[in-house]
Structure 1
C-alpha cells in the first residue's frame, strides 16, 4: 500500500511532537490550538504535505485536549472548548481530586477523538462522492448555507452576518481574474496600495495575524501576567483514579462525542458550542442533575468527549466540500495551499495516500495525546507556570519570521500580519466574530466564481431556486438556520428578562 511507505520515523516524530507541543499550548491560558497551528504553519512548507499535516494534526488534537489542565487545576479554561470542564473539574481539584479529574478528562478526550475519527473515516468519502455531482448552483448554495449557519450560531446573528460579509468583501480586494469570469481590472484597492494589493491579501499572513498576533495583543492590553505559582498547581496525588468511574457513562460518552462531531461538521461553530451542548445534554438526561457544577465526573466526561469529538467532525466538510469546520481547520487550508493542493470533493479520490495518512495521523495523535497526558500529567501540568512575559516574545518572533518567509521574503506580508493582528484585536472590541470573518475570507472568491459562472451559464438568478432538488433542500436548510437563530435569540432575550426583571424607577 502506498500510504504505508509514507509512514516514516520523521512523520511519527512530527505527529507525536506536535501533539505534545499542542498540549503545552492548550495548557497555558491565553494560548489555543488555533494559535499553535497558526504559529507553526510556515514550518510545513519545508516539511512537505504529509509530514506537515502530521505536525498540524498533532497540534490540533493536543491543543484541544490540553485545555483541560488549567480548567481543572486553576478553574481557568485553557481553550474556549474547555469552558464547561471548569464547572466540575475545578471543584474536584479543590477537594484534592485533581489527578482523578485530569485522568477522567484525558480518557474522555481520547474516546471523543476516536469516535469522531471514525465518523470522519466513514462520512467524508460518502459526502465527497455526493458533492462531485454538484453544479455551480449547488456549490454556491453550500457556501451560502455555511455562512448562514455561522451567523445563526454566533452570539449575535446580525454581527455574525456582518463579520462573514466583511470577510468576503476583503477577500475580493485585488485584480478581478479573467479566468474567474472577471474583466482583469483592479477593484476595491485603496489608492496608493495598488503595487502591493494587485493579488489581494495573502491568506497565510492573514491567518497568523488573526490567530497569533491578535491573541498576544489581547493579553498585552491587560498586562502580561508572570504565570501561575507552582504552589497554585495542586494535582492531588493522593486521589486515585479508577476506570470504574466510567461505569454507567457509556451513553454519556457516545452521545457527547456524537454531539461534538455533529457540531464540528457545522461550519465555523467551534469547540465551545460542542462542549456546552454536550454538558447541557448530560445534565438534562442525568438522574442526578443537582450534582453538576459541584464536582460531578459525568460533567467532565461530557465536556471533554464533546470538545474532542469536534476534531474529526470539523475535518469532514473541509476534506469533502472544501469548507472548514472551524477556525483551526481553516488554518489547515493554508497548509494545503503552501503545497499547491486544493481541498474539495475530488481531494480524497485524487489523493488517496494523503487521505490515508491523515486518518493514520489523527489516530496516532490521539494515541500520543492519551499516553503523554495519562502517564506524564504531573509534569505537563507545570506548563501553566511558564511566564508569559518570556513566552509571548518568542511567539511574536515566530509569527513575524513565518509571515516574512511564507512567500519568499515579501515585506508586505509582515505588514499584512500587523494589519490583521490589530484588526483581530479590534474585532473583540466591536463584538465581531472572527470565525465567520475568516471563513468568509476563505470562501469569498469561490462563492463569487460559482455565482458568476452560474449567471454566465443560465442567465437568470431564478436558476438558484429551480436547478435541482438539492438546491431546494439547501434553501430549506438556509431558511431553517436563520429561523432557528431568530427563535433562539428571542428565547434567550425572554429568559434574560425573566431572570432579571427591570426594577421600577
Structure 2
C-alpha cells in the first residue's frame, strides 16, 4: 500500500539524530507542562511559537506534536495525584484515579494510565496513517462553495464544543474573526480596523494573538484569583501493573480506543465526549461496579485510552481539511501557518515528506513517552510542588520576550497587552478563548472562499447549495446548531 511506503520514508527521516532530539524534547516538555495544573499543551505551544522560528518546519512540528501527545500523558498525573485536571479531557480520570491514589494505589492508577495511553496512542496513530490520506483525497474535490459550507460547519461545531454554551462560543469566535479583519483588504486595497496605525496595515500576527489570549490572559487571571494549596498524593510503590490489574485494564484500553479515535476524527469531535462515554461504558460493563466511586481501575484505563486515541483522531481533520477541533490543535494550526503551510488536501501533495515524517515521529514519541512516564513518575510528581506564582511569572516573561522576538516593535507589545486584557475579560465572563483562535485563522479563509464563490456565480447565492456535498455540509451545520440550542433547553426542562 502507498501509505506504508510513504510511512517508511517518513521513519527514515524521523530517526535522524536531529528529529529524534526534537521529539524527545517535545514529549519531555509536553509531559512536564501536562503535569503542571493550568499550563497544558496549548499554552506551551503558544509560548514556543516565536522561539522556534529558526527551526526547520519539520523539526518544529515534531516538537509541537510531541508536546501535544506529552500533554495528554502528563494530564493524567495531576488528575490522579492532585485531583486537579490540567485539561478538560482529563476530568474523568480524576474521578477514579484520585480515589485510587488516596487508597494507596497511585502506582497502579498511573501505570494503567501510561500503558493505556501508549496502546491507544499507537492504535490511533495507525488509524491516522491510513485514514488521513483517504480524507485528503476526498477533500481535493472541494471548490469554493464546499469550503464555505465546511467553514460554516467548523464555526458552529467549534462554538458549541469549545465553549460552555453556544452564545459564548459564538462571541469568542466573533472576537477572533474581527481580529482577523485587521489590515489591508486584499481585494479592495482599503485598510480595515487599523485606526490609522501603520503597523496594523499588515494585520496582527497570529502568534501575538495566540500568546495574548492563552498565555497572558491565563497569567493575568491567576494574579486576580491568587494561588491555592493542594495536597499531592504520594507514589509509594513501583509503577507497574499486577496481573489482576492488567486483566481488568486491557479490555478497557481497547474499548476506550474504539470510542476515542472515531469521535476525535469527526469535525465535531474532540477528546471530552469519548472520555465521558468511556467512563459510562466501563461502569456498565464492569464486574466490579461496587468499586466505582471508590477507585475502580477500569474508570481510569478506559477514559485515558479514549483521551489519547481522540488526540490522534483530532489530527485527522486538522491535517486533511485544516479544521482544528481542540485548543491545542488550533495553536498547532497557527504553527503550520507560521511556516507558510496550510493544512488541507494539498498538504499531502505539496509537503508529503514533511507530513509523513511528522506521522512517523508520533509513533516514536509514543515509545518515548512510555519510557519517560513509567520510571520517572516520581520526578513528575515533584513538579506539582512548584509554587504557581513562579510558573506564571515565567509565562509572562517568555510570552513578552517571544512577542518582541516575533515582531520587534513597541506596537507589538502594546497589542499583546491589549489582547491579553481582552482575553482576561473573556475568561472572567467564562467565554472560552479557543474559538477566537479558530475564528482568527478560519475567518479570512471563509471570507476569501465566499468571495471566490460569488465571483464565479456573478453574485448568485444559490451556488452555496449547488451540489450534494454543499447540501450535506449545510445540513450538518444546521443540525449541529439545533443540537447546541436544544440540548441545554432539554436539560433545564423539569422532570415530570
What CA distance in whole angstroms lies between the structure 2 residues aligned with 1:390 and 1:421? 19
Structural mapping, 1:173-188, within 5 Å:
173-177=182-186, 182-188=187-193
Q: Do the aligned partners of 1:72 and 1:93 also contact (CA within 8 Å) in 2? A: yes
What CA distance in whole angstroms lies between the structure 1 residues aligned with 2:167 and 2:87? 25
What CA distance in whole angstroms lies between the structure 2 residues aligned with 1:40 and 1:222? 26
User: How big is the shift at 1:249?
Assistant: 4.6
Determine which of 192, 198, 201 is the counterpart of 1:198: 201
In structure 1, the partner of 2:401 is 401
What CA distance in whole angstroms lies between the structure 1 residues aligned with 2:365 and 2:14? 16
In structure 1, the partner of 2:3 is none
In structure 2, the partner of 1:57 is 65
In structure 1, the partner of 2:139 is 131
Secondary structure, counterpart of 1:355 in structure 2: helix
Structural mapping, 1:150-229, within 5 Å:
150-153=158-161, 154-177=163-186, 182-189=187-194, 191-192=195-196, 194-225=197-228
Q: Do the aligned partners of 2:172 and 2:432 also contact (CA within 8 Å) in 1? A: yes
In structure 1, the partner of 2:456 is 457
In structure 2, the partner of 1:309 is 309
With normalisation by structure 2, the TM-score equals 0.92
How many residues get paired?
486
User: How big is the shift at 1:240?
Assistant: 5.9
What CA distance in whole angstroms lies between the structure 1 residues aligned with 2:87 and 2:17? 30
Q: Do the aligned partners of 1:69 and 1:78 also contact (CA within 8 Å) in 2? A: no
Cα pair distance change 1:270/1:412, threshold 3 Å? farther
In structure 2, the partner of 1:478 is 477
In structure 2, the partner of 1:257 is 257
Cα pair distance change 1:290/1:421, threshold 3 Å? farther
Q: Do the aligned partners of 2:400 and 2:413 also contact (CA within 8 Å) in 1? A: yes
User: How big is the shift at 1:110?
Assistant: 1.2
What CA distance in whole angstroms lies between the structure 1 residues aligned with 2:390 and 2:174? 38
What CA distance in whole angstroms lies between the structure 1 residues aligned with 2:435 and 2:262? 18
What CA distance in whole angstroms lies between the structure 2 residues aligned with 1:361 and 1:301? 24
- In the alignment, does 2:46 pair up with 1:43? no
Determine which of 3, 6, 24 is the counterpart of 2:32: 24
Note the alpha carbon deviations across 1:222-270, whole angstroms, 9 max, x for none: 2235x667xx441132786225423255443233223322343345764
In structure 2, the partner of 1:366 is 366
Cα pair distance change 1:239/1:346, threshold 3 Å? closer
Cα pair distance change 1:255/1:147, threshold 3 Å? farther
User: How big is the shift at 1:373?
Assistant: 0.4
Q: Do the aligned partners of 2:13 and 2:357 also contact (CA within 8 Å) in 1? A: no
User: How big is the shift at 1:78?
Assistant: 2.5
What CA distance in whole angstroms lies between the structure 2 residues aligned with 1:332 and 1:436? 14
What CA distance in whole angstroms lies between the structure 2 residues aligned with 1:371 and 1:238? 14
In structure 1, the partner of 2:419 is 420
In structure 1, the partner of 2:5 is none
User: How big is the shift at 1:287?
Assistant: 4.6
Note the alpha carbon deviations across 1:92-145, whole angstroms, 9 max, x for none: 111111111111111111122112212211111111111111110001111110
Q: Do the aligned partners of 1:143 and 1:443 also contact (CA within 8 Å) in 2? A: yes
Tell me how large the CA RMSD over aligned residues is: 2.2
Secondary structure, counterpart of 2:15 in structure 1: coil
What CA distance in whole angstroms lies between the structure 2 residues aligned with 1:152 and 1:201? 26
Structural mapping, 1:60-79, within 5 Å:
60-79=68-87
Gaps in structure 2 of 5+ consecutive residues: 1-7
What CA distance in whole angstroms lies between the structure 2 residues aligned with 1:385 and 1:319? 37
My pick for the range that moved more, 1-10 or 215-224, is 1-10
What CA distance in whole angstroms lies between the structure 1 residues aligned with 2:278 and 2:343? 30
Secondary structure, counterpart of 2:95 in structure 1: helix
User: How big is the shift at 1:318?
Assistant: 1.3
Cα pair distance change 1:164/1:70, threshold 3 Å? same
Q: Do the aligned partners of 2:334 and 2:441 also contact (CA within 8 Å) in 1? A: no
User: How big is the shift at 1:388?
Assistant: 2.4
Q: Do the aligned partners of 1:268 and 1:435 also contact (CA within 8 Å) in 2? A: no
User: How big is the shift at 1:320?
Assistant: 0.6
Cα pair distance change 1:436/1:342, threshold 3 Å? same
Gaps in structure 1 of 5+ consecutive residues: none
Cα pair distance change 1:223/1:305, threshold 3 Å? same
What CA distance in whole angstroms lies between the structure 1 residues aligned with 2:174 and 2:333? 20
What CA distance in whole angstroms lies between the structure 2 residues aligned with 1:300 and 1:379? 21
User: How big is the shift at 1:389?
Assistant: 2.6
Q: Do the aligned partners of 1:171 and 1:441 also contact (CA within 8 Å) in 2? A: yes
Q: Do the aligned partners of 1:53 and 1:335 also contact (CA within 8 Å) in 2? A: yes
Cα pair distance change 1:475/1:224, threshold 3 Å? same
- In the alignment, does 2:332 pair up with 1:332? yes
